[in-house]
Amino acid sequence: MAIFFQSPKRVVFIGAAGEMCRLAVERFANASDISLVLADINTDSLQPLVARLPAGRATALKLDLNDRVALLTTTKGAALVVLGAGPYTKTSQPVLTACLENKIPYLDFDDDVESTTAALALHEEQRRRAFRALLAAEPLLD
């Protein structure tokens, strides 16, 4: 597992067991040859998705978003982190903060006003660190 996390090209999907994130995973897998880390609190529900993807392309990882060390370790060195785990009022801040700290580009499907507003409040810090975040990307999947 440690070697996989050192790979220069990998996208981490958090909440990958959810329907919206599953669709994004499949589209990333079809459009690129990048390695995928599928993170969720429920890894059993990730296995069917991993099985549908090309062999060796994806790794399932149990991730508790309340475990800051695990979150920082999982996101470190990623090319992109995609947050699909909800509710975003509870999940976006810890993931966005970890990405900001690790300087990892961030994308989410957040359609909650409160959490999107909180993420936008970090704009100056994001700009200072040359950090990229795409918020509320859900319409891009329609």
pLDDT digits (tens, 9 = 90+) for 77-108: 999 999 999 898 899 999 999 999 999 998 98
**Domain residue limits at 31:** 2-141
CA distances from 45 to 17, 26, 49, 106 (A): 6, 15, 8, 24
Look at the pTM and tell me if it is higher than 0.85. no
The CATH number covering residue 75 comes to 3.40.50.720
pLDDT digits (tens, 9 = 90+) for 95-141: 999 999 999 998 988 877 777 777 677 667 666 766 666 666 554 44
Split into its structural domains, the chain has a count of: 1
Rounded CA gap, 37 and 133, in Å?
Answer: 19
Confidence at residue 20, expressed as pLDDT on a 0 to 100 scale: 84
